[in-house]
A and B are shown apart, each in its own frame.
Chain A
Amino acid sequence: MERVRDLASKKAIVMFTKSSCCMCHSIKSLFYELGASPAVHELDKESRGKEMEWALRGMGCNPSVPAVFIGGQLVGSATDVLSSHVDGTLKQRLIDANAIWF
């Protein structure tokens, strides 16, 4: 839990993924498209990956990955990210977190 929060606050956009997860790949692509560069942590490559996955689930992420934090705040999983992108709130949050400028 702590590690997750710790990592999440380090960068403007933080993503927790798994190397085998293709939906994570989608969300990553979306951020790149928007001109952002998220910090990606692959849980299957992390030493305490299982713990972190557990923590993410505890925070309400279902499925556990991809889990997106913007400005230290949890946005959610793919559904949340895409929904907020459609209604325009994602971009605003990115701008607010200085992840993108326009």
Chain B
Amino acid sequence: MEMESRLDQRQETVTILCCLCGAPITSNPSNMCVHCLRAQVDLSQGIPKQCALVYCKFCGRYLLPPKTWLVADLESKELMAICLKRLKRLSKLHLVDASFVWTEPHARRIRLRLTVQQEVFNRTVLQQSFVVEFVVELQQCFDCQREAAKIEAWEAVVQLRQRVDHKRTLFYLEQLILKHNAHEDVLGIRQQRDGLDFYFIHRSHALKFLSFLNSVACVRQRNSNHLVSHDPNNNLYRYKYTFSAEIAPLCREDLVFLPPRVAAQLGGLSCLVLVQRITNWILLLDPRTGLEQSVDAGTYWRLGLSRFA
């Protein structure tokens, strides 16, 4: 650790004695010599001298908590930014200089020399430099995990079905999913007879995908899970979750037959209506009166409207 004290540079000032040790010094606002100041004050007190840094060796990225992975070379400014962000209490001090100290790459240690300044004891500005060591820990980032995992490693699956002959809605959904990037956590996709299966590593990813589907299409959801293994000593249970999502089989410009009771419930529509638009609500158009009525997913599936093409 080195320390300097920024003194008043007037040469004619008299020499006084340091109030603690008696060494002759020029007057400064704390009236103590540098060594006594150093003994009294440690600016790096709150900052951990050793810290952990997470690195994925498969893609060469460092973790910026909580979730971002960033590519950075050794001794680059991106790496310095990551290291400084890891030191939370550094924001309270005034950082003057930061530089890397060379370490052997295989040692998996990154050393950073930081110089900070702070005002202590009235108006004395103290500058101190110290070294912080970051221990690089290896961890596979989630994207690499996904790439490495085979599809059989899935924990949750969303089975998307639409029981119609044409694939219009599915194609449209495909475009929507690509546009909103809802497929980023998907482990794999398999095509089935009436739709698609989306496999995920975590249940939470599957739920996120499902909520996306609920917001763009009229779906009915059924959940089930089955036990894969359980550890009776620790009470740990491993499940595989299956979410079955069925899209309403309606499409634009379809003709729909409404039973009279249902037509009355929907606000006095006639028994034959046209489907004007499908989003996550179904817009029905009464051809006789020109009335429009929207039906949401819950109402649709509850009433069990069938199609009459």
Tell me whether A and B are bound partners: no
